[in-house]
């Protein structure tokens, strides 16, 4: 076990730190769930890309730096240390990007990866439907193939829901039923579509915080080229499961995010220390320890992956751990803030400009998205621990 | 930066696993209960495998292996609820005596002598047999008490495989005093805490495995109880808690080789995380076992009771949380990723 960073890794860290110090906006950007904030975050993606920092783990040929997982973790640590803006391109770069690299053909990769990395095309994920959330195999949205002398296309019908930022994004990726006779997880295909196509209507859904962070997407005869399909017809479920694996795994929620929150929580505690009960103090301490445990587990896992291991259903443990940690930390912060907890950012006397409140609301979504924690526990019990399906 | 064990460390782990799981079956443990047999013969076998001198330098007759490899061995011992004082003798006492360059080290490694620990944090010494000596860590003195000078009074543990004694010395050999003694006592504490944490990981894993087996066999309402979501979720939660305690313990074991303030913090975190994971696994296990888990006849109680005992050893939750609290919540504390892997170099103790 060698827990020292190499000199190369330390140099990399310094390089990231220096670049971010020069480029991170001095003030936090408006929420990326607003029209103005979305575009400002897109601009930030372009800035990152100009320094070739947009997608460090991608191969160089696709706009990345070919960084390994440890370098990724170092990058994230510096990123959160610098309080850089959230990644509005996250659905694309963390979910679709790796999926494209694994299942896309060369034309698809060269068409979609560069503008994704550049922030020119921001992606929304179109997975859930009103009748198909945790039970994703119940999806009904269809893609009917229409032959057209070698320029076949799909006609999309149906509805998707809970698509984050779809009202502002450029493109979407979703699962559609291409075999009308099929049931459940069979006969599904993974299809990419421009959100501004004819026959596609995006309707914003207002979230708890008042912003249109969600959307419904209605497909009413929208046509996309058949070449927008990733992988084979009927392979959609398999590809979606791979994407879900990326979602649960190391990329989407790196430990630095939670270690940063834990540091802020300790600082908040210290600010108010005189009036805080021992019980809350011990929750602050536990949160800090858990954030560190998450970091250690991630490095432990990353080391194994880099040595050729794979991350399987234990990724579900990860998801449960970070989402519950995040909620605990924010709940503890509200307990410290007390009577001012309900104040929105921008209001006089709001603590840290309402960030803890915003963070608490977002933390309530954590146990829900990327596969609910109930589903994750089922997965752990069935696939890691051998329990029979119910 | 590579948070993995080396292949030779894994080989040692596998060797320990094979031996321990073969030698310490649940049947063999039950046979020990109520017998109050003092010498199971198992210690001699552990010595033969070199484990008594695991951390002792080769030049003094030991294996000279790493602290993190010993954590793996301790974890295997925990998995089988091994009643031998492996952590005590090999993990705590032998390295201290090696540091002091005491003649007893070679004797321990060769199996000629067994020396258990007594520490101001642990009210009792466990597993003494007549010939054993005790290395006692007091507030301002570290002393060696030979078997013939040891007086002991039994105390009754709920763990039927732990024989507890309050000790007294008729005579002793002072090995260190003052600051040196304090430093050695502190070191003993965080070594004991880390390796006991590793045992707790093993105990937790064993209880989860026992419970998995039970949940697959036990049928109610026409199905294996493991198919019920409530049971699945309880198991998944216990498993997750254990998975996240694991790297904390391994990290702490690696840092034992460094002689720094952070080793103490990491040991404290490890002990809290592992104790909590162990207690949680025990409570989950008994709940899923139902009434049968509450019996003396079923194996589960032996593992649970070991957890209850070890959770309080080498500093209880309160002790270690105070250390963490004082450091992490202090003004100017170094926090976050910078503190997690703080520019460390692995520097093995020679």
Mutate to test the interface with A, among B243, B262, B265, B344 (most CBs of A within 10 A): B243
Residue with tokens 């209960």: B33
Angle, in degrees to the nearest 10, between helices B67-79 and B7-23: 20
The region of weakest confidence among A141-145, B250-254, B341-345 is B341-345
Interface of A with B in 65-104 (CB under 8 A): 70, 77, 81
Query: What is the nearest CA distance from A97 to chain B, expressed in angstroms?
Result: 27
Cα dist from A314 to A253, A321, B41, B297, whole Å: 15, 11, 39, 34
> Count of CB atoms within 10 A of residue B39's CB?
11
Interface of A with B in 308-337 (CB under 8 A): 314, 316-317, 320-321
A381 and B236 within 8 Å at the Cβ level: the answer is yes
Which chain A residues are Cβ-neighbours of B66 within 8 angstroms?
A: 1
Residue A10 is predicted with a pLDDT of 95
Establish if B1 touches chain A: CB-CB under 8 angstroms. yes
Neighbouring residues of B159: CB distance < 8 A, sequence distance ≥ 6: B302, B305, B306, B308, B309
Q: Is residue B348 over pLDDT 50?
A: no
> How open is the CA angle A5-A8-A12, to the nearest 5 degrees?
95
DSSP class of B6: -
Residue A247 is predicted with a pLDDT of 57
B226 and A387 within 8 Å at the Cβ level: the answer is yes
Which chain A residues are Cβ-neighbours of B231 within 8 angstroms?
A: 381, 387
Establish if A3 touches chain B: CB-CB under 8 angstroms. yes
Q: How do residues B199-236 score in pLDDT, each as one tens digit? A: 999 999 999 999 999 999 999 999 999 999 999 999 99
B246 and A300 within 8 Å at the Cβ level: the answer is yes
Residue B346 is predicted with a pLDDT of 41
Residue A265 is predicted with a pLDDT of 97
Residue B180: left if φ>0, alpha if ψ -120 to 50, beta else—which one? alpha
Say how far apart CA A230 and CA A115 lie, in whole Å.
Answer: 17
DSSP A122-166: -EEEE--BTTBSS-GGG---EEEEE--TT--EEEEEEEE---TTT
Mutate to test the interface with B, among A296, A309, A325 (most CBs of B within 10 A): A296
Establish if A229 touches chain B: CB-CB under 8 angstroms. no
B344 and A4 within 8 Å at the Cβ level: the answer is yes
Q: Assess whether A247 carries a catalytic annotation.
A: yes
> Count of CB atoms within 10 A of residue A245's CB?
17
In this complex, the residue of B1, B6, B236 whose CB is nearest that of residue A380 is B236
Strand runs (DSSP E) across B6-159, as ranges? 115-119, 125-126, 133-137, 141-145, 150-156
Q: How do residues B286-328 score in pLDDT, each as one tens digit? A: 999 999 999 999 999 999 999 999 999 999 999 999 999 999 9
Place B37 in a pLDDT band, splitting at 50, 70 and 90.
Answer: low
Using only C-alpha atoms, chain A has a radius of gyration, in whole angstroms, of 21
Which chain B residues are Cβ-neighbours of A255 within 8 angstroms?
A: 337
Establish if B7 touches chain A: CB-CB under 8 angstroms. no
Q: Is residue B40 over pLDDT 80?
A: no
Say how far apart CA A103 and CA A100 lie, in whole Å.
Answer: 5
In the sheet with B133-137, reading across from the earlier edge strand, the strands are: B115-119, B133-137, B141-145, B173-177
Report yes or no: A119 and A54 within 8 Å, Cβ to Cβ: yes
Residue B272: left if φ>0, alpha if ψ -120 to 50, beta else—which one? alpha
Establish if B318 touches chain A: CB-CB under 8 angstroms. no
What's the token pair of residue A30?
A: 């408006």
Query: What is the nearest CA distance from B230 to chain A, expressed in angstroms?
Result: 10
B3 and A296 within 8 Å at the Cβ level: the answer is yes
Neighbouring residues of A94: CB distance < 8 A, sequence distance ≥ 6: A87, A246, A247, A251, A252
Which chain B residues are Cβ-neighbours of A12 within 8 angstroms?
A: none
Residue with tokens 């390994």: A68
B329 and A266 within 8 Å at the Cβ level: the answer is yes
Say how far apart CA A336 and CA A248 lie, in whole Å.
Answer: 31
Which chain A residues are Cβ-neighbours of B319 within 8 angstroms?
A: none
What's the token pair of residue B18?
A: 């094979």
A386 and B216 within 8 Å at the Cβ level: the answer is yes
Q: Strands B173-177, B141-145: parallel, antiparallel or unpaired by DSSP?
A: antiparallel
Say how far apart CA A108 and CA A15 lie, in whole Å.
Answer: 32
Of the candidates A232, A172, A228, A221, the one whose C-alpha atom is nearest the C-alpha of residue A196 is A172
What's the token pair of residue B314?
A: 């080498």
Of the candidates A118, A141, A117, A121, the one whose C-alpha atom is nearest the C-alpha of residue A129 is A141
Report yes or no: A161 and A216 within 8 Å, Cβ to Cβ: yes
Say how far apart CA A144 and CA A164 lie, in whole Å.
Answer: 25
Residue B350 is predicted with a pLDDT of 32
Q: Is residue B345 over pLDDT 90?
A: no
In this complex, the residue of B226, B239, B346 whose CB is nearest that of residue A317 is B239
- CA B301, distance to chain mean position in Å, is 18
Question: Counting one residue from A and one from B, how many pairs have CB atoms under 8 Å apart?
Answer: 178
Report yes or no: B71 and B249 within 8 Å, Cβ to Cβ: yes
What's the token pair of residue B319?
A: 């002790």
In this complex, the residue of B5, B228, B235 whose CB is nearest that of residue A385 is B235
Q: What is the mean pLDDT of each run of 10 residues along chain A (390 residues)?
A: 93 97 96 96 96 91 90 96 96 92 95 93 97 96 93 97 97 97 96 98 95 96 97 95 71 89 96 91 97 96 87 86 97 95 89 93 95 96 94
Say how far apart CA B313 and CA B257 lie, in whole Å.
Answer: 21
Q: Is residue B38 over pLDDT 70?
A: no
Establish if B158 touches chain A: CB-CB under 8 angstroms. no
Q: How do residues B76-118 score in pLDDT, each as one tens digit? A: 999 999 999 999 999 999 999 999 999 999 999 999 999 999 9
**How far separated are the first and last CA of chain B, in Å rounded?**
22
Of the candidates A63, A117, A109, the one whose C-alpha atom is nearest the C-alpha of residue A90 is A117
Q: What is the pTM of this model?
A: 0.95
* ipTM of the prediction greater than 0.90, yes or no: yes
- CA B96, distance to chain mean position in Å, is 16
Interface of A with B in 133-152 (CB under 8 A): none
Establish if B341 touches chain A: CB-CB under 8 angstroms. yes
Of chain B, the percentage scoring pLDDT greater than 90 comes to: 88
Angle, in degrees to the nearest 10, between helices B261-289 and B300-311: 150
Query: What is the nearest CA distance from A235 to chain B, expressed in angstroms?
Result: 29
Place B146 in a pLDDT band, splitting at 50, 70 and 90.
Answer: very high
Say how far apart CA B131 and CA A168 lie, in whole Å.
Answer: 78
Report yes or no: B80 and B207 within 8 Å, Cβ to Cβ: no
Catalytically annotated residue among A11, A247, A263, A374 = A247
In this complex, the residue of B231, B247, B331 whose CB is nearest that of residue A300 is B247
Helix (H) or strand (E) holding B173: strand B173-177
B245 and A293 within 8 Å at the Cβ level: the answer is yes
Which residues pair with residue A203 across a beta bridge?
Answer: A216
A270 and B337 within 8 Å at the Cβ level: the answer is no
């Amino acid at each position: 076990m060698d827990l020292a960073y190499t000199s190369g890794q330390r140099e990399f860290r310094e390089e990231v730190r220096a670049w971010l110090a020069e480029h991170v906006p001095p003030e936090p950007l408006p929420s990326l769930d607003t029209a103005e904030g979305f575009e400002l975050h897109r601009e930030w993606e372009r800035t990152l890309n100009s320094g070739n920092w947009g997608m460090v783990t991608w191969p160089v040929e696709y706009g990345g730096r070919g960084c390994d997982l440890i370098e990724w973790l170092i990058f994230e640590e510096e990123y959160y240390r610098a309080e850089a803006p959230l990644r509005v391109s996250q659905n694309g770069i963390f979910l679709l990007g790796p999926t494209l690299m694994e299942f896309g053909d060369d034309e698809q990769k060269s068409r979609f990866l560069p503008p994704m990395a550049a922030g020119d095309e921001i992606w929304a994920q179109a997975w859930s439907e009103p009748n198909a959330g945790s039970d994703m195999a119940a999806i009904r949205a269809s893609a009917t193939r229409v032959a057209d002398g070698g320029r076949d296309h799909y006609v999309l019908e149906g509805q998707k829901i809970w698509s984050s930022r779809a009202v502002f994004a450029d493109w979407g990726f979703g699962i559609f039923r291409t075999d009308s006779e099929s049931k459940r997880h069979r006969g599904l295909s993974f299809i990419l579509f421009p959100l501004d196509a004819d026959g596609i209507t995006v309707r914003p859904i207002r979230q708890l915080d008042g912003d249109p962070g969600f959307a419904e997407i209605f497909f009413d005869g929208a046509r996309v080229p058949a070449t927008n399909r990733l992988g084979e017809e009927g392979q959609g479920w398999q590809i979606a499961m791979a994407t879900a694996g990326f979602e649960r795994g190391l990329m989407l929620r790196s430990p630095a995010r939670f270690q940063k929150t834990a540091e802020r929580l300790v600082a908040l505690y210290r600010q108010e220390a005189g009036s805080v009960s021992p019980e809350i103090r011990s929750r602050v301490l536990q949160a800090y320890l858990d954030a560190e445990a998450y970091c250690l587990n991630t490095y432990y896992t990353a080391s194994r992956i880099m040595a050729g291991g794979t991350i399987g259903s234990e990724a579900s443990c990860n998801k449960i751990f970070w989402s519950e940690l995040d909620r605990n930390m924010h709940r503890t912060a509200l307990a410290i803030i007390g009577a001012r907890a309900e104040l929105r950012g921008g209001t006089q006397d709001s603590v840290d400009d309402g960030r803890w409140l915003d963070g608490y609301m977002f933390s309530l979504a954590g146990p829900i998205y990327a596969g609910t924690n109930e589903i994750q526990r089922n997965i752990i019990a069935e696939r890691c621990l051998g329990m029979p399906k119910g | 930066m590579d948070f993995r064990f080396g292949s030779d460390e894994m080989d040692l782990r596998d060797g320990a696993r094979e031996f321990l799981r073969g030698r310490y079956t649940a049947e063999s443990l039950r046979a020990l209960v109520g017998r109050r047999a003092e010498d199971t013969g198992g210690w001699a076998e552990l010595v033969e495998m070199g484990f008594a001198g695991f951390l002792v330098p080769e030049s003094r007759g030991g294996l000279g292996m790493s602290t993190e490899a010993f954590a793996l061995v301790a974890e295997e011992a925990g998995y089988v609820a091994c009643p031998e004082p492996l952590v005590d003798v090999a993990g705590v006492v032998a390295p201290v005596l090696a540091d002091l360059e005491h003649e007893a080290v070679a004797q321990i490694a060769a199996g000629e002598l067994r020396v258990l620990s007594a520490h101001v944090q642990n009210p009792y010494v466990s597993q003494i047999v007549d010939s054993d000596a005790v290395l006692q860590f007091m507030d301002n003195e570290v002393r060696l008490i030979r078997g013939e000078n040891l007086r002991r009074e039994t105390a009754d543990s709920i763990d039927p495989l732990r024989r507890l004694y309050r000790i007294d010395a008729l005579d002793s050999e002072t090995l260190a005093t003052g600051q040196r003694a304090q430093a050695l006592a502190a070191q003993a504490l965080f070594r004991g805490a880390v390796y006991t944490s590793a045992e707790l990981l093993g105990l937790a894993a064993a209880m989860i495995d026992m419970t998995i087996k039970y949940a697959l066999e036990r049928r109610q309402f026409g199905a294996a109880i493991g198919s019920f979501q409530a049971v699945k979720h309880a198991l998944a939660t216990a498993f997750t808690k254990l998975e996240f305690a694991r790297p904390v313990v391994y990290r702490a074991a690696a840092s034992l080789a460094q002689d720094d303030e952070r080793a103490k913090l990491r040991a404290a975190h490890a002990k809290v995380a592992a104790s909590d994971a162990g207690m949680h696994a025990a409570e989950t296990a008994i709940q899923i076992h139902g009434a049968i888990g509450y019996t003396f006849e079923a194996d589960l109680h032996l593992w649970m009771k070991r957890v209850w005992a070890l959770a309080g050893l080498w500093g209880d939750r309160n002790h270690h949380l105070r250390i963490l609290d004082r450091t992490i919540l202090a003004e100017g504390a170094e926090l976050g990723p910078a503190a997690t892997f703080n520019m460390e170099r692995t520097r093995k103790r020679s």
